[in-house]
Chain A
Amino acid sequence: MTFRQFAFNNVFRNKRLYAAYFLSSLFTVMVFFTFAIFAFHPSFQNSDMNKNVMFGLTVAGGIIYVFSFFFVLYSMSAFLQSRKKEFGLLMIQGMSTQQIRLMVFMENMVIGLFATISGILLGLVFAKLILLLAENVLIFEESLHFYWPLSAVLITFVSFILLFLFISLFVSFILRTRKLVDLIKGDKKPKDEPKASMLLSILAVLLLLGGYGTALYVKGMSVIVAMVPVIVVVIIGTYLLFSQLNVFIIRRLKRNESLFWRNTNMILFSDLAFRMKDNARSFFMVAIISTVAFSAIGALYGTHSYLTKAIVQANPFTYSYHPYDQTENIQKNVQYAKNTIAQNGIDAKQLDMTEMYLPFADKPDGILVLNAKDYNKAAKLLGKKQLDLQAGEAVIAKQSIANLNQNDHADKWMQQSITLTDGKTVKPSRQVEADAYPNVDSYMIVAEETYKKLPKPLKVKHHFVWIASEKNKPEQLRKAGELLQEHYEPGAFFSTDFVLYEIEKGYGPILFIGLFIGIVFFVSAGSFLYFRLFTDLAEDKTKFQAIAKMGLTVPEMKKIVNRQTALLFFAPMAVALIHGAIALTSLSRMFSYNLVRESAMVLTSFLVIQIIYYLIVRFFYVKQIKEVIE
């Protein structure tokens, strides 16, 4: 047996010990590779997709790579920690520090090589699924067919071999051989408890409150300015929260003997105290990673719904033609649209929404006045609420999208009156929500009889709209829309379906990348917890075995394990949820757009996934421990 054979045998004959580390490495490779397959997809490479998206893909790839690095490093060092005693033994046999480093280096390279290869193979299978999913969920003009991803394979292989090489060198270099006696006693020695200082605990609270406060206080574009400082402050605050408050609370609980000495509490708390340092670090990591995932997904989803909703709100009609040229050509132009719509087999009702602009105080363009009859026709076709105006009544149609408009005149116009041709005056009686006919500014709707008696307008504009019935196929609507939108001068014709489609198409890849990264981060957070838990499994087994001999029932064991696991899963999750909620609130203040529904949806789905994850992990953990105590 040469030294090299020894190192290899050590890995191959001890598969179970290495399995966790191997699987986590494999997982990272797989994630990166799947992403690379997507990024190097021919339909992306060849399409005239804009530079920003390609740049986004590169940055995202970089983020995943950096994250992989830390993830592998973390699993590696956790793995080495658990092998202290083995190293101690080898040193007694006369292994030198260099030899231990060489051994760790070789092991790492073996594992790294296999993880890279199997990660790529598994990634190929996984990629097919992801591509199918992406194709169905997102709108891509070119279908995302499965291809032979040679460049993705090469990039992944080279990147990860380099990554493992670097980590192996790094780890074998920092692998400090402490005193032999410490190594041999190994894990019997309790890890030091981090010191809790009152000052730092207060600082933690202050930092978090300060960060939250600023995030919630700023509005509009200053959100962007405040973002980086707030993130830094909150990250530091979170770290202190877990490393200080954790210690503080557990110490308090331990001091309270009536609580600490009750039933199974003693086992639970003493265990928490014993693992405090490890827990603090993993809680922090998991909380931050989950926050990134929530915020990324929440922000993308929020922006998406903000964009699409705003467009649908501003353009409830299927088609809308607002010609600049209001002269005699208008009939000809409208006829063209009408014909095109009919030729495409679309069943749509045409309306002429005549916009009359009356001179009005401090508004040179005048105020828009609409006939209630026209408005109600549109409302009826759109399935919106019709207005019920008294004879001679005028109302101000308040615009919900006009909320964005700082100079809304709605309130001022309530004070104004109009002199009709018969000498009577009419004054708006109330404000109504009128979403069947959106306008950038609030406008006036008057009953039909009054409309006829309005004074000479500044100008009259014809606005033709088409409202298609439900039975039309979206592709037809889109196709006709595209034809018409290209036929007329830019901005005159608007096809809601076509514009939405174009937005989805441009936004699709970004949304995909965001979702992908978010999911990667979230799954990684879960894996962190999984590793955290299963590094302690062997220790827990012996512990519960010992306690079981003194008479610990299975339900009692379950109770302890449940609480321990629940704390591990939900303490960082709770912090991440609060962080995420604050981040999304801040985002919605930047847009001045309500994202409560979107945020709630994103955060709730993550919570649900986390609960499922918790239940699964707990089930296996309990099962493993039950095996040894029964």
Chain B
Amino acid sequence: MLEVKRVGKVYEGKVAYRALTDIDLSIEDGEFVAIMGPSGSGKTTLLNMVATIDEPTTGEITIGGQNPHRLKKNELAKFRRRELGFVFQDFNLLHTLTVEENIVLPLTLDGKNVKEMKEKARTVAEKLGIAGIMGKRTFEISGGQAQRAAVARAIIHHPKLLLADEPTGNLDSKSSKDVMELLAALNKNDKMTTLLVTHEAQAASYADRVVFIRDGKLYSEIYRGDSQKGFFQQIIDTLSLLGGNDHDFSSVRL
């Protein structure tokens, strides 16, 4: 489904900075993968390149057999709105729109008809438990609700790949848990391929597999067994091996 082949990223500048070196990563259809690593390890850079926000300096990324970086501008725009869903740490909902309008935005951009959009929005909202706040503006809802709305926006068009960048970073522990359970359920029930970048071991423990990055290189990866709790412990252990600074990993929100 997603193939990352020998991808490297160098930021040009007064001092060129190598953010990623020769990353190989492949994600199967319906897989839920978390990427972890200390600050500055390059995990968001990797996600941004997968999300077509940034371009790799070397190497190749294919999503569903297509290399989005080779697409023309307009085709890339269409690719984004049809094949990708994106969830951010700070929600990034448009505050000029209502929750419902935010959710249907990718469809609107694609010129779908209103009835179809309404229908899809209703279905997805019911699934995510935000049907009651559809008419509200973004500043009238809580953080957890906002992130659920953002997830709804990310999945309304049934993307091939759902990308989440620290989705629990701005949420309290209850909301974090809700959002992660939501992502896990989407993955399990709808076979939504998901790539998650996170700091938090708790959040990562919902994934099928956790990939660790350090200093722009793959460090190791671990697969989840039967128990989430055991997986969580495994993650913590790998993190302590990984070193970095302890405070990069919040152990509070367990």
Contacts and interface: CB of A to CB of B under 8 A. Distances in A.
Interface string A68-103: 000000000000000000100111111111110000
Contacts of B79: 94
B111 A9 contact: no
B133 interface: no
Interface stretch (B94-102, B190-198, B233-241): B94-102
A499 B74 CA distance: 72
Interface in A86-129: 86, 89-99
Given A6-B101, A9-B97, A96-B77, A89 B92 contact: yes
B81 interface: yes
Contacts of A92: 51, 53, 80, 86, 92
B86 to A, nearest CB: 5
Contacts of B97: 1, 6, 9-10, 13
Secondary structure at the A interface, as helix, strand, loop or mixed, is helix
Contacts of A177: 73
A93 B80 contact: yes
Nearest to B154: A93
Contact of A96 (B74, B105, B106): B74
Contacts of B52: 180
Interface residues of A, number: 25
A184 interface: yes
Interface string A1-31: 1110010011001100000000000000000
A188 interface: no
B117 A91 contact: no
A94 B53 contact: no
A412 interface: no
A597 interface: no
Contacts of B82: 94
Given A96-B73, A179-B54, A1 B101 contact: yes
A93 B54 contact: no
Contacts of B95: 14
Contacts of B86: 92-93
Nearest to B45: A181
Given A180-B52, A181-B53, A9 B101 contact: yes
A99 B109 contact: yes
Contact of B74 (A13, A98, A181): A98
A91 B108 contact: no
Given A3-B111, A9-B97, A13-B97, A96 B92 contact: no
Contact of B77 (A6, A86, A99, A184): A99
Nearest to A17: B96
A466 B51 CA distance: 94
A10 B77 contact: no
Nearest to B93: A89
Contact of A2 (B55, B74, B92, B114): B114
B239 to A, nearest CB: 28
Interface centre among A1, A9, A97, A184 (most CB of B within 10 A): A1
B87 to A, nearest CB: 11
Nearest to A98: B74
B110 interface: yes
B6 interface: no
Nearest to A183: B53
A94 B81 contact: yes
Contact of B80 (A10, A94, A97): A94
A6 B108 CA distance: 8
A94 B78 contact: yes
Interface in B41-73: 48, 51-55, 73
A417 B117 CA distance: 110
B49 to A, nearest CB: 9
Nearest to B49: A181
B77 A94 contact: yes
Interface in B111-131: 111, 114, 117
Contact of B109 (A3, A181, A184): A3
Contact of A91 (B77, B96, B100, B110): B77
Contact of B78 (A3, A9, A96, A179): A96
B96 A13 contact: yes
A86 B96 CA distance: 11
A1 B114 contact: yes
Contact of A86 (B55, B78, B81, B94): B94
A9 B96 CA distance: 7
19 contacts: A1-B97, A1-B101, A1-B108, A6-B97, A6-B108, A10-B94, A10-B97, A13-B96, A14-B95, A89-B94, A90-B105, A94-B82, A94-B84, A94-B106, A95-B77, A95-B81, A95-B109, A96-B77, A96-B78
Which 7 residue pairs across A and B have the least CB separation, nearest first?
A: A94-B81, A96-B77, A94-B80, A13-B96, A181-B54, A14-B96, A180-B53
Interface of A: 1-3, 6, 9-10, 13-14, 86, 89-99, 177, 179-181, 184
Given A1-B114, A92-B51, A94-B79, 4 more contacts: A1-B104, A1-B105, A1-B108, A94-B77
